[in-house]
Amino acid sequence: MIHTVRSADGTPIAFERRGKGQALVVVAGAGNDRHGDEPLVAELTAEFSVVTYDRRGRGDSGDTAPYAVEREIEDLAAVVAALDEPVIVHGISSGGALALLAAAAGVPMTRLSVFEPPYRGETEEVPVGYADEMRELVAADRWDDAVALFTMSAVGTPAEAVTAAKATPMWAELRSFAPTLVYDAFVMRDSKVPGELASIATPVLVVNSNGSTDWLKAAALAAAKTVPGARRVELDGEFHSVAPERLAPELSAFYRDPR
């Protein structure tokens, strides 16, 4: 069943709830709506009441202009408030970066886990103003160019790999999310670990895959070092992914740990 809650600026945010147990809100990453992480959700519903929602501009949610990262934080806060009970949050990739910003802003959550928030190292350069450039490309209906800029600037994908990807079905799906890829670009700012994460009091677990690139592993370590008392675990997996049947038990153990 689809539920709708109004965010602080009046934008309707659609969400679904499945399973029984403590509420667990999943924050999707770039190129996904509330259905994008179904295999992991299916694993987690065995123990938790999992809430998936469409971030603004996606699926059944609205999209009120102008965009600001603060509005997305308010969206998550509205979903949490609508549940009216203690809530765990799990954020994936840039959704993890958003969830960390929400925790720093005081959105109530009993525990927070994030999977590979894609921060870049202090010595790694991310093009200045690429989020604004992406927004201009989308406004000019140059969605392919916007997606290419995102994958090269934010993800670090080589240009030749982007060219090859354009011939795959995955590209068409990613292209459909081009307007909200702009939002993810703004969530990531300059792609450095935000200093305000040092104010997070919520227990945090940062997870990364041993099959990911070195910069994603370093990003997980940097995030864990910035959040006071955060834990970090590296699991067997592939690039930017861990099998749900391996990830879910690790998350569950953290959520149920009384420490």
Phi, psi of 222 (to 5 degrees): -65, -40
Does position 25 have pLDDT exceeding 90, yes or no?
Answer: yes
Is pLDDT larger for residue 155 or for residue 237? 237
Distance between CA atoms of 68 and 187, rounded to whole angstroms?
9
Would the pTM of this model clear 0.75, i.e. be above it? yes
- Mean pLDDT is lowest, of 21-30, 148-157, 205-214, 222-231, for 148-157
Residue range 183-220, pLDDT digits in tens: 999 999 888 999 999 999 999 999 999 999 899 999 99
Residue range 106-141, pLDDT digits in tens: 999 999 999 999 998 776 777 778 899 999 999 999
The pLDDT of residue 123 is 67
pLDDT confidence tier of residue 100, bands split at 50, 70 and 90 = very high
The pLDDT of residue 224 is 97
Residue range 54-72, pLDDT digits in tens: 999 999 999 999 999 999 9
pLDDT (average), residues 34-45: 96
Fill in the DSSP letter of residue 7: -
The pLDDT of residue 164 is 87
Distance (Å) of CA 144 to CA 54, 186, 222: 23, 18, 32
- Mean pLDDT is lowest, of 45-54, 101-110, 170-179, 224-233, for 170-179
Is pLDDT larger for residue 150 or for residue 55? 55
Q: What is the CA radius of gyration of the chain?
A: 17
Is pLDDT larger for residue 172 or for residue 156? 172
The structure tokens listed for 189 are 């700012």
How confident is the prediction for the chain on average, in pLDDT? 94
- Residue 152 burial (C-beta neighbours within 10 Å; 0-12, 13-18, 19+): middle
